[in-house]
Amino acid sequence: MAGPVGRPAFGPPLYRNGQVMRATFHGVRGSVPVSSPEYAQYGGHTTCLEFRSDGVQVIVDAGSGFQNVKIAEEGPVILMFSHFHHDHIQGLAFNGDLLRLNREVFVTSALCTGETVRGYLQTYFHGAYFPIDLIGLMGQMRFVDFSELASIFAGVMEVDSMPLAHPGGSAAYSIAMGGVRACTLFDNEYAATQEAQLADFVDGSDLVSWDGMFLEEELPMRRGWGHSSIEEGVDFFTRTGTRQMALMHHAPSRTDQQLDTLQGGLKQDQVFFAHQNQTIEL
């Protein structure tokens, strides 16, 4: 697929995929950013997860943590949205690299077409909701259908998606680079009827990021809110063939002390509560 006039097309001849993928958690909080000493350890920024290899950068969601992503100066940059609730898009306007660098950024979502993604973001960052027409000013954004990624980046990375249970919809992603695969499962209200499909989707992955917004005891009053529990994530991990699980999308009221206590009670060494700015090598 040809790139914009004056720029080369992205694809295998231009980009070499590395053998190591790094995952960085720039935002691990759900619903709304929080800021106080009680949240300093795990962090208060909302959802943003970055995957990097030597040749490609993939960012899933642009919550407030997106402001701290260092946009790659070379190679393709892909920004995928799981969905468009405010805690997953609110940081888009505040990344200094994105505003400064003349870098082509592929923007997509498995929920809808590229043009629909453009429309959602332009509505949010314009008019009554934002002082400037951000999307209209940022010509480096190339909105593409999710189905196009397979051909654009053939031989560089493999991506897949499946629908999740969340009001308004949400998309799970599977991202494979250099023989390593990571899956994101936020935001999702887990149900037993999902298990077979979810287990097949994540099977063999090196990292699964799970929506651990609630505790099991909190779920009855929050049915229909579109989130899972920490306990459901741990149980799911024990029944699937994945190497490790990151619990994230922490409730905005969940303090460092509470998360530390929950971490200490986990029976699975390969399951952990993600910290903001944490980087792991897969």
| Residue 28 located in a structural domain | yes
* Mean local confidence (pLDDT), 250-256: 98
Whether the CB-CB separation of 16 and 272 falls below 8 Å is answered with no
Q: Does 40 fall in a domain?
A: yes
pTM greater than 0.95 (yes/no): no
Domain interval for residue 188:
22-274
* Domain-embedded: residue 62: yes
Q: Is residue 223 part of a domain?
A: yes
- Please compute the mean of the pLDDT values over residues 162-189 and round it to a whole number: 96
Q: Does residue 1 lie within any of the structural domains?
A: no
Reading the block at residue 32, the tokens are 């709304």
- For the chain, the domain total comes to 1
| DSSP conformation letters of 125-138 | TSTTS-SS-HHHH-
Amino acid at the residue 249: H
Residue 15 pLDDT greater than 80, yes or no: no
**What are the φ and ψ backbone dihedral angles of 208, each rounded to 5 degrees?**
-120, 130
Within a domain: residue 234?
yes
Q: Which residue is listed with tokens 């990571």?
A: 182
- The pLDDT tens digits for 34-67 are 999 999 999 999 999 999 998 899 999 999 999 9
> Which tens digits make up the pLDDT trace of 148-157?
999 999 989 9
Per-residue pLDDT at 19: 56
217-249: per-residue pLDDT in tens? 999 999 999 999 999 999 999 999 899 999 999
The reply to whether 237 falls in a domain is yes
Give counts: helices (H), strands (E), the chain. 7, 13
Q: What is the CATH number of the domain that holds 82?
A: 3.60.15.10
Q: 75-122 pLDDT, tens per residue?
A: 899 999 999 999 999 999 999 998 887 889 999 999 999 999 999 999
Residue 171 falls within a domain, yes or no?
yes
